[in-house]
Structure 1
Amino acid sequence: MDIALCYESVLPARGGAETYIGDLARRLARDGHAVHLYATRWDATALPAATHYHRIDVPSGPRFLRPWRFAAACEAALRTRTHDVSIGFDKTWGQDVLYPQGGLHAASAAHNRLKFANGFERGIADLGKWFDPAAWSFARLERKQYLGPTRPLVVVNSFMVRKHFEQFYGVPPEAVRVVRSAIDPMRFAADDRLKRRHEERGRWMVFPEETVGLFVAMNYRLKGLSPLLHALARVPRDRPFKLAVVGHPKYGRYLKQAERLGVADRVRFLGHRADPKDCYFAADFLVHPTFYDPCSLVALEALACGLPVVTTRYNGASELLTPPNDGVVIDDPHDAPALAAAMYRFTDRSYRAEASSCARQTGTRWTFEHHYRALIDVFGEARKIKRAA
């Protein structure tokens, strides 16, 4: 097939959707598909040599207008060429397939309110959004994407997001295809894993008998670090336990919170890690009490490393788990007793060993190859719809 990928910036070293698009482009090229990239900037060294590039020039301006300008320019550029199928990954329109890996803006905005523990704080946040031009702009753009006269075939990475399409926009489930996110588990293969584990734990000043829960995120607030620290204060001290925090380099406010809660001695703030592989090796389970994640790659990476996962029902990746075999799913990140009980459960060595074995099996049931084949089926379906029209 002749396939067009549309995304403003494709610099795979930055991670997230940009890494994914690079992986997908390489896999498509390996199968002999013609890959076209419509973007404003890219790293050609991280993309297949046969990629056809189409530069989309977007003038500078306010952040809330930039997606509109890129989407309009991308739509105009696509009209000048004929592709079997075109795919947009974010705030674009006019493609045959839309794959919003970050979920719906409307759902994200609703879940972001949940970060605040009480109604007063949520009211202040709502007031701020009311005067935020980006919030209005992105909401309007999303309605144009999915409720316009020509509707795309929609791909989402969890049933949670499919439900959000119906909840916020009335899009019926049969109009949305679920293709779960995936990672390459071979990225975490290491013959010297045990050695790395001991060395990393030594740097953390963690004893071999201590259980370590790992938290990995750049957006500490959205991913639930504050309620996690509150829950940590409720974890009994009769068994040795530490929490390792990896992600954003600025964590001062959370260190102060840990000190106020009397748990600073139980937390290791590690800052940013370009490659957190050794952190997964050093930990015993992942704790990810997120308020919104369409399908957390962190959870998939943890499972690939044999780490059971503690997360919330607001994470689409929770649909992959079979609690309590390979992890725990709680309803509300603010439920400190439930979150504390979930973490404390992993201080039981026998349960932890059984859960780790199950987690590794869960992590191998859905691979990038499975994901790719399912996505190719969607592309084939979109091509048939396009030809029939």
Structure 2
Amino acid sequence: MKLCIVTHRVVVGDGQGRVNYEVAWEAIRRGHHVTLVASSVAPELQQHSHVNWIFIPVKGYPTQLFREMAFSMQSGLWLLKHQKEFDLIKVNGAITWVKGDVNAVHFVHSSWLRSPVNLSEQHASLRSTYNWFYTALNADWEKKAFSQAKAIVAVSKQVEKELLEIGVPPERIRVILNGVDLQEFSPGEAKRQTWGLPEGVTLALFAGNAQTPRKNLDTVIRALAQVPELHLVVAGTTTGTTYPQLVVSLGLSKRVHFLEHRTDVPMLMKAVDFLVFPSRYETFGLVVIEAMASGLPVITAVTTGAAEIITPESGIVLPDPDDIQGLAQALTLLTSDREKRHQMGQAARTIAQKYSWANMAQTYLDLFEEFNQS
């Protein structure tokens, strides 16, 4: 089979990019030829004899919207000339204006446009106006892209629900959850002094870009104020936010440790006791399954797509991400019971082992081969 994957990045260290990276390798293992229409491709794939990289340059454009429009136009023009050469074309959302056979959906802009935590709904500003315009355009483009595909892959049940809400026929939707690197994220121990973190205390981890309110760090901090025995490490950019001031105002300066953006999260997860990530809107949330693979219990909310794989034995799923009291109770439970944390962590690791990147990629290729034979 000659497979074409159209995506911005095919690399490790990027959620959507990692999915395409693993799918490409699984296709190669099965003897298929892969053409990558992308702006960035991992060196090991570039050098493979079964891979053809069509470079789509987008650097130099002033905004994300212009970069995506440039990618769509350039990739579309190339595909118009070459699409008949392929047995199957995989795309992501409205990435190109030429139709794809399988469309993998990591985000539904129509749903985000209606979300109460969308920045454009918070307050009027130049940034919020741009975000609204960007989201509205993508929502319109996606509907057309979804209508043209033979199959739509949703990365979670939450995304499936959102696709149904905008009229995608249920028979064309397949749910394939994102995966996790079970070697990179695994149980173990790490010295907290590496990050200047205190020993001998219970330590929760919040990991994510805290600059967006949808990640919900504010609720985590307010709930932490009610759990005096617990410390919190924040691995995520907080520049330009009011979270440090909030921490000071609540008297939590000695218990909240800001590390900003980290590239060593797999090791950091070996130094903490559990993950707290009650995102207000998350189509999946790789950090959840990464924590589970690391043997950590997880506290999250139903508004996070990956919550669907969490059982009562492996974590706590809050029905309302903004319930400060409910979150405080969950934090208290895990802080006060070390044995329970250990048992939940073991259960979390067992669940995560079902969702390796290899298993995910195999499911994608099974789907591709099914359509190629039909």
Residues 226 and 80 of structure 1: CA distance in aligned 2, closer, same or farther (over 3 Å): same
Q: Do the aligned residues in 2 keep the contact of 1:181 with 1:371 (CA within 8 Å)?
A: yes
Residues 382 and 126 of structure 1: CA distance in aligned 2, closer, same or farther (over 3 Å): farther
Residue identity matched to 2:86 = H
Q: How big is each residue's C-alpha offset from its partner over 1:347-368, in whole Å with a ceiling of 9 and x where there is no partner?
A: 1122212211211111112222
Counterpart position of 2:316: 328
Counterpart position of 2:113: 109
Q: Whole-Å Cα distance in 2 between the matches of residues 60 and 202 of structure 1?
A: 39
Number of residue pairs matched by the alignment: 366
Counterpart position of 1:365: 354
Q: Whole-Å Cα distance in 2 between the matches of residues 280 and 62 of structure 1?
A: 34
Q: Whole-Å Cα distance in 1 between the matches of residues 47 and 93 of structure 2?
A: 22
Residue identity matched to 2:209 = M
Q: State the Cα RMSD in Å.
A: 2.7
Relative to the length of structure 1, the TM-score reads: 0.85
Q: Whole-Å Cα distance in 2 between the matches of residues 62 and 207 of structure 1?
A: 43
Q: How does 1:269-348 map to 2 (within 5 A)?
A: 269-323=258-312, 325-347=313-335, 348=337
Residues 343 and 35 of structure 1: CA distance in aligned 2, closer, same or farther (over 3 Å): same
Residue identity matched to 2:288 = A
Q: How big is each residue's C-alpha offset from its partner over 1:48-106, in whole Å with a ceiling of 9 and x where there is no partner?
A: 522101233569466434434422432332233311111112432411111022x2011
Q: How big is each residue's C-alpha offset from its partner over 1:266-322, in whole Å with a ceiling of 9 and x where there is no partner?
A: 111112211212210011111101012221110111011100111111111111011
Q: CA deviation at 1:130?
A: 8.6
Residues 137 and 362 of structure 1: CA distance in aligned 2, closer, same or farther (over 3 Å): same
Give structure 1 regions of 4+ aligned residues with deviation exceeding 6 angstroms: none
Residue identity matched to 1:336 = I
Residue identity matched to 2:100 = Q
Q: Whole-Å Cα distance in 2 between the matches of residues 384 and 184 of structure 1?
A: 31
Q: Percent identity?
A: 27
Structure 1 gap ranges (5+): none
Residue identity matched to 1:185 = L
Q: CA deviation at 1:131?
A: 8.6
Q: Whole-Å Cα distance in 1 between the matches of residues 5 and 142 of structure 2?
A: 19
Matched, 1:174 2:148: no
Q: Whole-Å Cα distance in 2 between the matches of residues 268 and 25 of structure 1?
A: 39
Q: CA deviation at 1:37?
A: 0.6
Counterpart position of 1:246: 235
Which segment is superposed worse, 247-256 or 274-283? 247-256
Q: CA deviation at 1:156?
A: 0.9
Q: CA deviation at 1:202?
A: 6.4
Q: CA deviation at 1:248?
A: 1.7
Counterpart position of 2:184: 187
Counterpart position of 1:99: 104
Q: Do the aligned residues in 2 keep the contact of 1:29 with 1:48 (CA within 8 Å)?
A: no
Q: Whole-Å Cα distance in 2 between the matches of residues 382 and 310 of structure 1?
A: 39
Q: Whole-Å Cα distance in 1 between the matches of residues 70 and 283 of structure 2?
A: 26
